[in-house]
Amino acid sequence: MARSMWYNKKMDYFMKPMLLVVFLILHPFVIRAESVDEVIRKVVENLNGNTAVMDIRMVVKTSRAERRMEMKSYSIGNEKSFIKITYPKKDKGITFLKVNKGMWQYVPRIEKIIKIPASMMLQSWMGSDFSNDDLVKESSLYDDYEHKMIQETDELYQVELLPKEDSAVVWGKIVMLVSKKYLLPTMVSYFDEASVLVRQLSYGNVRSFSGKNYPSLWIMKPTTSDKKGHETRITVLDAVFDGRISDEYFTKRALKRFSR
């Protein structure tokens, strides 16, 4: 009897760790499912902030030419943004307004406010490799996609984002590398519905702006053959996060008013 009890205790000692290992192998996402959603939620929060005012330089390169633009950006979360072009002279005063999923542009030369329709969301924004949809941020990385942890290293998360069935989104798949140190993306790869890589956006030069770590360099590179040699660089020259921004910037009246 004593020998049997000793044997059972010995088997428990060895079996419990083995059962835990088997459980983790058979159910690898039980402990990850919540954490991967949390990673994406924090990435979205860290990129947007509650409010942001930025001075931005954008350099657009093609195989034939290069041009530079500068602008001022005001935003509240992911819902509202106002952008004013300040350089070059021929584009100075062009303004853009985004409120929820609506987008408008004002062009001083023709003194006209233009509503940008949904059919133009994939069109180039100001001749760059960013689209109107990027500016509007119509789709939410957190709400419109399912998240799956593909790989994890000491420094990075690799996350796959697939559209939810009822989500009207542009991309068939997104793969994101996320820095564990900052919980900010380092590389985002965008695929079409046929899983063909269309473009890649890299983030770098993390700086502290008003106490918030933020990537000050964004490089968008298309990967399709018709865009060979194209590249758009955005440099955040200065930024103030989580300050107060007047609601006056987020009305259609502001497009003309703040154009001067």
The pLDDT tens digits of the residues spanning 148-164 come to 999 999 999 999 999 99
For position 251, what pLDDT does the model report? 94
- For residue range 166-191, list pLDDT tens digits in order: 887 889 999 999 999 999 999 999 99
User: What's the pLDDT band for 15 if we cut at 50, 70, 90?
Assistant: low
pLDDT at 118: 78
- What is the pLDDT of the chain when averaged over all its residues? 87
Q: What's the confidence (pLDDT) of residue 142?
A: 86
pTM to 2 decimal places: 0.83
Domains, the chain, in order of start with CATH, read: 49-257 (2.50.20.10)
Q: 258 versus 21: which is more confidently predicted?
A: 258
In this predicted structure, the answer to whether residue 32 has a pLDDT above a threshold of 60 is no
210 confidence band (pLDDT: 50, 70, 90): confident
Whether the pLDDT of residue 140 is over 50: the answer is yes
Contact of 96 with 104, CB cutoff 8 Å: yes
pLDDT of residue 85: 97
